[in-house]
Copies of this chain bind each other. A is one copy, B any other.
Amino acid sequence: MKSDRDRSVRLLWEPPVEPSRGPKASLSQSRVVEAAIKVADAEGVDALTMRRVAETLGNTAMSLYRHVPGKSELLDLMVDAVWGETELAPKGHWRSGLEFFARQVWAMYRAHPWTLQLTASRRMPGPKAMARQDAAYAAVSELGLAAEEIVAVVTTVSHFVDGVGRTMADRVQAERETGVSEEEWWNGREALWEHFTPERLPMMTHIWNSGGFERPLDEFEFGLARVLDGLAVFIESEERPLVRPQACL
């Protein structure tokens, strides 16, 4: 149990050592991870099976277990690998730093939506994900905030980006699974629209008639600007309103 998770830590934080004895491996850990990421990118998280990954490498499922302890650890490695693709924010104003952070995470989510469909909790954090997190905290480190306020500010941005990302990821997955675009799909739901009466759903029919659903604002851009505005109110206020610790769960 304990050793399992510690193996994950070693897997993520320490470079794999090549054995000196025995036949050379035709695969390697990094090649397995790379192939798995390609499969997830191209075919979605549901297609990410050990058999499918092995197939793209010209091997059988069980051969992967020579390089990766199990699927869970493979996911840990995949997630940290894609975090490595993001850039760290340059020094500057807190707002541009947080915005940079948000845009990097958003870009990562768009390139690899499957990361959002994996359970995040208790996933062993790797060095690249941690470096990214550290850089985000650094962006708001010189404003005289208390440590827990620094955490709260970055967390707020993260939660918003996660929220938009999840919606986007679900959409991408649905489009791939059905082969039907979002718009086409909803257009085909006549049976649903029949229930959209002004009596039942006054606001939604009004918005619909005004075209508010057809020409939506960019969810990420709009929301990010608002969230940063809200953080600015907090950060730049004279007397900061302190929200004190409280049971959260």
Interface residues of A (CB under 8 A from B): 2, 5-6, 9-10, 13, 110, 117, 119-122, 124-125, 127, 130-131, 133-135, 137-138, 141, 146-152, 155-156, 158-164, 166-168, 170-174, 178, 182, 185, 188-189, 191-192, 195, 200-204, 206-207, 210-213, 215-223, 225-234, 241, 243-249
Contacts and interface: CB of A to CB of B under 8 A. Distances in A.
A173 B121 contact: yes
Given A151-B213, A166-B162, A212-B148, A246 B218 contact: yes
Nearest to A147: B212
B160 A192 contact: no
Contacts of A232: 230
Identical copies of this chain, number: 2
A5 B134 CA distance: 46
A60 B131 CA distance: 50
A168 B247 CA distance: 12
Nearest to A110: B249
Find the residue from A110, A228, A229 having the highest chain B CB count within 10 A. Answer: A229
A198 to B, nearest CB: 11
Contacts of A211: 147-148
A218 B192 contact: no
A230 B232 CA distance: 8
A126 B212 CA distance: 21
Contact of A150 (B158, B207, B220): B207
18 contacts: A9-B189, A110-B249, A121-B173, A122-B174, A124-B192, A130-B201, A134-B201, A147-B207, A147-B212, A148-B212, A151-B217, A155-B222, A156-B227, A159-B223, A216-B248, A217-B243, A230-B230, A233-B233
A200 to B, nearest CB: 7
A225 B243 contact: yes
Contacts of A122: 170, 174, 178, 185
A204 B2 contact: no
Specify which of A117, A147, A220 lies most central, judged by the most chain B CB atoms within 10 Å of its CB. A147
Contacts of A210: 146-147
Given A160-B160, A226-B234, A212 B146 contact: yes
Given A174-B121, A204-B130, A226-B230, A161 B163 contact: yes
